[in-house]
Structure 1
Amino acid sequence: MVKGTPKHEAPEPLEGPVVATIVGGTITWFALFLVQLPFYGWFDDRGHAWWLWTCLAGGGLGFIGIWYVRRRDAAIKRAQATQAAQTLEAVDAADSASGIPEAESLRGPSPTLSAD
């Protein structure tokens, strides 16, 4: 066995509230920048001014991240809607080809009203 060979398949990636996570992180970076800004002189005297600029860069990159994950989330939702529409069209095509009435199709019976 070769060293480093995986013994099992990798798990599926976790999907969570990605947009909310990125927005929260971006707000945190900007808040850290604003909290440290009044102490710029102290940081600069000690050679730690890069702390402020790191926080500002984190906030700026967070804006790019927000743009990216919002577009990604929209693309995933569009793909799911397209796939659902194609599945529904395939079911309708199969029903019409087999001659099964719509009430008995794979979508289940249609609701009927009784005159009791």
Structure 2
Amino acid sequence: MSERDSAPHPPPLPHRLADPVPVVLGGTALWFLGFLVVLLLDRSNSTLLWTTLSGGLLGIIGYGVFYWQRRAARRGSRTAQQGLDDV
């Protein structure tokens, strides 16, 4: 038996640290806030404008995929990602 097999398993993270929803929603909100700031202060910088808008939209899409996978895991779907039912 190796050392790795006999090491105790770490305790699970508390729910508030394991839940990615506040981070994802907060990050998405920051992208949209950045979009509004660029829109109001510097419309001439179209690259920055489109980058911040894309960041916000991708945050929404990413959260949608996460939510969809988490529902499938809780439902017990065989094709769902594993380990999302606790979150």
Q: Same fold per TM (> 0.5)?
A: yes
Report the alpha carbon displacement of residue 54 of structure 1 after superposing the two structures with TM.
Answer: 0.4
Q: List gaps (5 residues or longer) in structure 1.
A: 1-7, 9-13, 81-116
Q: Specify the SS of the correspondent of 2:71.
A: helix
Number of matched pairs: 63
Determine if contact 1:29/1:59 at 8 Å carries over to the other structure: yes
Q: Which has the higher contact order (CA 8 A, sep 6+)?
A: 2
Q: 1:16 maps to which residue? A: 18
**Which protein is bigger by CA-based radius of gyration?**
1
Percent of aligned positions that are identical: 37
- Moved beyond 6 Å, runs of 4+: none
Q: List gaps (5 residues or longer) in structure 2.
A: 5-12, 78-87
RMSD: 2.5
- Residue of 31, 56, 59 corresponding to 2:56: 59
Deviations 1:23-61 (A, max 9, x none): 1111110011111211234xx2xxx42111100000011
